[in-house]
Amino acid sequence: MKFYILYLLIISGCVFLVKPDKAIQENNALLVPDYSNLQFWAAHPDTKDFADLVPTNTDFVDKQELAQADVFFIHPTTHLKKDYWNGDLANEELNKRTDEGTIKQQASVFNDCCKVYAPRYRQASIYVFLKETEEGKQALDFAYQDVKNAFLYFQKHFNKNRPWILASHSQGTHHAARLLAEVISKSSMGKTMVAAYTLGWPYKAEESGFPVCNSPTQTGCLLNWNTYLWDKKPSRLQELYKSSICVNPLSWTADNSYMPKESNHGSLPRSFDKILPAIADAKCEDGILWTHKISEDGFPTLELGKNYHLIDYHLFYKSIRENATLRVKSFLEK
């Protein structure tokens, strides 16, 4: 709960709370991840971790042991402190925030279809996304190099040409879009990519080298959405959103058709103790995903209730889980 209160304060305009104290050059003092060491994986099929969990009071089952595909998950920003420009992987408090937050609440959605791999990386500070600076660009580049190294290690030593899914959220998607454009599209790795569930950050499909998904079973394609309250729009980066991918997670098509909440198989509250069907509808409009107000508890918002960024995965959790399994099945049949 403390994490979300701080996040709300930051997004509400208290940017000074998280401006890094240290010079960007001091990033060189940070612990360098060694991806041959499982310590540097927040989720890995050979460890017991939060990606193995399923919501209580559901019939969901962790099926990683027999999974025929993998997922490489790039977590969003959990570095909210005003010290380094990038996260310190020796900081157990930061690692715990990552694990108990995004790995449990987001990466776990894929444990029905795939073995889950999620690297720890020296993520850029939340400040980077609140105020544009030269140091912020350097911090993102610094974080991306870790993500790239982890991905190449994953491909060579763990995946070994199995079908795989790229998944991410927020800062993770910022890095995923670059990974798609600079690495995956320029290699044979794209041939075994089932799909890319890259949520919570706007980007253009044409920059990635892959088509947008436009059916529930299409493979080798991209999915993205950024969820807002009905009729509301982002306060920043509006032009980027307008040109961004938006795939409706209830129809799995890239159009502006409306899908009623009755078509939503289940949303996951932050309590992780149930699945609530039919509480969120969906419609793409100008690159963002609109949904009507969620009245149930456990679904936090930003920007005075208009921004559902924190729950891009939660609102459509069961639909994502089912669809990822369906796409893997479709890929294997091909």
Which of 247, 274, 272, 251 is closest to 262 using CA atoms? 251
The sign of the CA dihedral 159, 162, 168, 172 is positive
pLDDT tens-place values along the chain, 334 residues long: 444 444 444 454 567 678 999 999 999 999 999 999 999 999 999 999 999 999 999 999 999 999 999 999 999 999 998 899 999 999 999 999 999 999 999 999 999 999 999 999 999 999 999 889 999 999 999 999 999 999 999 999 999 999 999 999 999 999 999 999 999 999 999 999 999 999 999 999 998 999 999 999 999 999 999 999 999 988 888 888 899 999 999 999 999 999 999 999 999 999 999 999 999 999 999 999 999 999 999 999 998 889 999 999 999 999 999 999 999 999 999 8
Pair of tokens at residue 183: 């690495």
One DSSP character per residue, 183-232 reads TGGGSGGGGGEEEEEEESS---GGGTTSPBP-STT--SEEE---EEETT-
Predicted local distance difference test score (pLDDT) of residue 207: 83
Cα–chain center distance at 7 = 17
Give the global pTM: 0.95
CB atoms within 10 A of CB 296: 10
- Phi first, then psi, for residue 124 (nearest 5°) are -70, 150
Predicted local distance difference test score (pLDDT) of residue 3: 46
One DSSP character per residue, 99-120 reads IIIIIHHTGGGGTTTEEEEEE-
* Residues contacting 193, CB < 8 A, separation 6+: 163, 164, 165, 166, 184, 210, 219, 220
Predicted local distance difference test score (pLDDT) of residue 13: 55
- Phi first, then psi, for residue 219 (nearest 5°) are -125, 170
SS3 content of the chain, % helix, strand, coil (to 5): 40, 15, 45
